[in-house]
Chains A and B, each alone.
Chain A
Amino acid sequence: KQEVTQIPAALSVPEGENLVLNCSFTDSAIYNLQWFRQDPGKGLTSLLLIQSSQREQTSGRLNASLDKSSGRSTLYIAASQPGDSATYLCAVKSGGSNYKLTFGKGTLLTVNP
């Protein structure tokens, strides 16, 4: 059974700092990995999708990497801003022919002005 772990559970940083969020998964036989953002009481917004054959994806100040063999992904946020404050969720798609998304519990990020 696939399990996804996100560390740390919460992170507080001053504005302008570069930061890294971590995601690990137990079964390396994944199809892809996705990072989402969730604002309080809201739905999820997809940030980056990395296919299993890819090593990284970039979008603006965000860079996500994937090391499938070690079961790890990182989300790097450059020059953090107060507007980046949210919960960041990692999800992997796996499961053979009955594939589905398995989510981590998320990292709550607070960027202080």
Chain B
Amino acid sequence: DGGITQSPKYLFRKEGQNVTLSCEQNLNHDAMYWYRQDPGQGLRLIYYSQIVNDFQKGDIAEGYSVSREKKESFPLTVTSAQKNPTAFYLCASSMSWGLQETQYFGPGTRLLVL
């Protein structure tokens, strides 16, 4: 089955710790995205990648980092510089960085701070 997988489903971070959220897709999509969702809020774009080996900051990139070394993978690292990391993180992909493209979403990772 084609789709987007995110792991883990739940992640706990200690103060001062960096954690990495995994996102993998087997849809052969060029573009990938990371969003953050807080209760009662719309999704906010953290980072996006139009193509492998390229990525751009979104609206709330501070305290986060990404890499795009493989087409199918777009991991997100939440660094210790992110002071309020508790949120639901959603990864998405689209066939290309195009005006007509629909984004397909993964099941999400919920990050909690211990």
User: Chain B: which residue is nearest A45 at the CB level?
Assistant: B105
Q: How many residues of A contact B (CB 8 A)?
A: 25
Is B32 at the interface (CB under 8 A from chain A)?
A: no
B106–A106 touching, CB < 8 Å: no
Given contacts A42-B107, A43-B108, contact A106 B48 (CB under 8 A): no
Given contacts A89-B43, A100-B48, contact A44 B100 (CB under 8 A): no
Is B102 at the interface (CB under 8 A from chain A)?
A: yes
Is B2 at the interface (CB under 8 A from chain A)?
A: no
A105–B105 touching, CB < 8 Å: no
Is A19 at the interface (CB under 8 A from chain B)?
A: no
Least CB distance from A94 to B in Å reads 10
Least CB distance from B78 to A in Å reads 18
Is A93 at the interface (CB under 8 A from chain B)?
A: yes
**Roughly how many angstroms separate A36 CA and B42 CA in the complex, as a whole number?**
12
From A93, A100, A105, contact of B42 by CB (8 A): A105
- Residues of chain A within 8 A (CB-CB) of B99 are 31-32, 93, 99
Is A62 at the interface (CB under 8 A from chain B)?
A: no
B45–A49 touching, CB < 8 Å: no
Given contacts A34-B102, A46-B103, A49-B102, contact A41 B108 (CB under 8 A): yes
- Residues of chain B within 8 A (CB-CB) of A31 are 99
Is B104 at the interface (CB under 8 A from chain A)?
A: yes
- Residues of chain B within 8 A (CB-CB) of A89 are 42-43
Subset of 24 A-B contacts with CB under 8 Å: A31-B99, A32-B99, A34-B103, A41-B88, A41-B108, A42-B107, A43-B4, A43-B6, A43-B106, A43-B107, A43-B108, A44-B92, A45-B105, A46-B102, A46-B103, A46-B104, A91-B43, A100-B45, A100-B48, A101-B43, A102-B42, A103-B42, A105-B42, A106-B42
Interfacial residues, chain B to chain A (CB-CB below 8 A): 4, 6, 40-45, 48, 58, 88, 90, 92, 99-100, 102-108, 110
